Each structure stands twice: as C-alpha cells, then as structure tokens.
Amino acid sequence: MKKRTSPNEKSFCRQVIRTCPAIAMTLFLLPALLTSCTGTGGGSSSIPAESSESAGQTESTAVSGEVSASDGTMPAAVSGSEAATAAASGQTAETASVGLTAAMTSAADTSISAETAGTGSTATTAASPVMLDYIDAWEEWHTMEVDLSVEKNAYDPDLFVEQDGVTTYAGGDQYEVLQGVDVSEHQGWIDWEAVAEAGIDFAFIRVGYRGYGETGSLNEDAAAVDNLQRAKAAGLQVGTYIFSQALNEEEARAEAQLAVNVIGQAGVEADLPLIYDPEVIHDEWGRANDITRDQVALNTAAFRDEVEKMSSLEVDIYSNLPWEDMLFDSDTLNQYRIWYADYEKKPQTPYHFAWWQYTNKGIVPGIEGEVDRNLWIRER
C-alpha cells in the first residue's frame, strides 16, 4: 500500500510546480523528491489527486445565476425548462452570484495541477468551463460560459439592498456609493435643482444617437447642451453617452466626433467618462443587429481613438450580460470600465463594473415620469 502524502508535502510540491516549472521538472527527476512527493522509493506514480471529500460541498440554488464546472464537481446549470419552472414558482435571478466565486476558484485550481494517469508527471489542463444561467430584461433565459480571463467584480451580492425603489450597496468604509440617473430628450425639461435636492449625485446625459433604421442617420440629442449645463450648475457630477448603431470604424469615428462637439458646445467639464453604447435592438430590426464581435471591438477602439485625438475625455462602455456574453470580446471588456445594465434585484454579471443601471422605472423629483436610476460604486 502506498504511503498517503501529507498536506504539507503536497503544498510544497505544488508551490514548486506553480512558481518555477523548470526547477520543478529538474527536481522531479531526483529520487529523494520523488520519495517525498509520492511516497514510493524511486517509483513513477503521480502526485496523488486531491481528496474527493470536498466534491459536491458547494451548492447553488436551481435558479438563474447557478454555476457549474462541467467536470461534475459542481451542480449542473439548470436547463431552459428548469429555469422556466423556477421562474413560474416565483424564483428570480436574485441569487445570480451565489457560488460563482467558488466555482471560478475551483476551475482555476483545476487548471493548475491535474493528474496524468500512469505517467508519473503532472500536467496543466484547461480549466473546466464555468456556466452561468441568467435572465435578460425581456425575461428570457440564457446560459453562458464565464470568461475566466475577464476581470471579475468583488461585490458581495448580499450587500445590495433595495428599499422603496432605491437600491444601494452596503459595502462599509471600503466603498463610496453614489446615486445617479441617465437622461435624454425623452425626459423633457428637467428641474435639476430638484433632482439634486432629492439626493441624486451624478447624471449620464445622452449627447447623440444614430438611428437604427437602414439609413442610420446621426443626430444630436436636442436636450444635451441644456441638460449638461444645468445639471452641472445644480452641483451634479456629469458624464455623457452616445447610442451607437455603427456598422464600421468610419461610422464609429463619426459618432465620436459628434459626441465631442456637443460636449464642447455645452462648455462644461465632464466629471465622468463619455460612454460608448453600441446596442442590439431586441423588439425591432436594428441595422447593427448582425454585427460581429470582432467588428464591435474595432468600432469601440476607433471611437476611443477619435475621442482621444479630439479631446481629453475618457471613454468607457455600456453593457449588459447578454452583450458581455455575445457582443464584447474579452479584450474589450478588460480595457474599459463598464456601465452595467441589469434590472434584477442583484447584478447577475460576474465581471467588473463601476456603474450599475439597476432600474428603468425610477421615480425622481424634478423628472417627469419614469427614469433610469444608477449606482456608482467606487473604492475610497
């Protein structure tokens, strides 16, 4: 019977393998180290696999947001029919992040060290996919593979608290949490003094848009200059965004030029970035609905480069989970801060974000009708 390798012996071997593979391979050939790692006198048995005692200990609820590693060490993600059943029973996507960190950690550990049966060597394998079920704004369910190369957020989902239609993040002294809105000409005339008195700290103001019809005409938002000037005068921090339907880099550059020019007309200093907002139209035909992930990356880079050439403005992106799944590539997601849209009780994305548009049905004094409300979560 082989001697069971102690945890300390395993830890030492794994540390060597992780930090310096070349030295590890050299030492691996030495009988003394082989004896220490495997408990055999010069034999060729591999480093023992982790005990199966921990398998299955991490569980997540069978609703949207459940994650799984495909090697069977985590519960399988729910199917579409199961998700629909969960939704019908009154369950929601509130538990989107439950178990996700554990699943990603498990997958990462799997990629570091895996036993190669009968060879006596340790091989690095690809991490087991981490799957996430989520629900979109139209209450349709999707399953995505979490991209482990994209920076993750560190927010605790249990600390997002909603009361009377207002959501905040109880992150303690680590974070400063600000309330915001985003508006366009559709809100009509806004009493920005009343908005500020209602506790709104910042606003993203639309400066323009490209029509999603076939011609794709580019237009200035009729209320942009006025909103920027009066929101700033009322003491709000202001940022801007442009609704994009660009099909190529040339159109993206034209959108950047329009945005910079409108901000220049307002004559105010922006506190927040200019947000590039390329959208897929859900209910109607949109000219950019069939755009490829690669083209979105090219358009985003072209927009940013043109803005930086014309101004000192910073560019970031607007997204939601379906677009993070199907529209943006990992390089784009890692290059920019994200203004994330999700109308569930808790954000479902595993990825980083700085701003969360948490509802499109907010009520704010000074703004007639419903308005998008946002959180800005920043480290102190």
pLDDT tens per residue, the chain (380 residues)?
Answer: 333 333 333 333 334 333 344 433 343 333 333 334 433 333 333 322 222 222 232 223 223 333 433 333 322 233 333 333 334 344 455 544 545 655 565 555 544 344 434 444 444 456 689 999 999 999 999 999 999 999 999 999 999 999 999 999 998 889 999 999 999 999 999 999 999 999 999 999 999 999 999 999 999 999 999 999 999 999 999 999 999 999 999 999 999 999 999 999 999 999 999 999 999 998 788 999 999 999 999 999 999 999 999 999 999 999 999 999 999 999 999 999 999 999 999 999 999 999 999 999 999 999 999 999 999 999 98
Q: CA 181 to CA 268: how far, in whole Å? A: 18
Q: CA 358 to CA 341: how far, in whole Å? A: 6
Amino acid at 344: E
Q: What is the pLDDT of residue 159?
A: 97
**How far is CA 232 from each of CA 202, 224, 270, 309, 362, rounded to the nearest angstrom?**
9, 12, 9, 25, 21
**Residues, the chain:** 380
Q: What is the pLDDT of residue 229?
A: 98
Amino acid at 68: S
Q: What is the pLDDT of residue 284?
A: 81
Q: CA 111 to CA 129: how far, in whole Å? A: 11
DSSP 251: H
- 122: Cβ contacts below 8 Å, ≥ 6 apart: 17, 46, 47, 113, 114, 115, 116
Beta bridge partners of 319: 340
Q: What is the pLDDT of residue 285?
A: 87
Beta bridge partners of 19: none
C-beta separation of 340 from 320 below 8 A: yes
Cα-trace Rg, the chain: 25
- 361 phi, psi to nearest 5 deg: -125, 30
Q: How far, in whole angstroms, is CA 303 from its chain's centroid?
A: 21
- Sign (positive or negative) of CA dihedral 27, 33, 39, 41: positive
- The pTM assigned to this predicted structure is 0.73
Q: Which two tokens stand for residue 8?
A: 């300390």
Q: CA 17 to CA 22: how far, in whole Å? A: 8
Q: Strands 274-278 and 237-244: what pairing?
A: parallel
Domains in the chain, start-ordered, CATH in brackets? 52-145 (no CATH), 157-379 (3.20.20.80)
Q: CA 275 to CA 70: how far, in whole Å? A: 36
Beta bridge partners of 69: 130
DSSP 174: G
* Maximum C-alpha span of the chain: 83
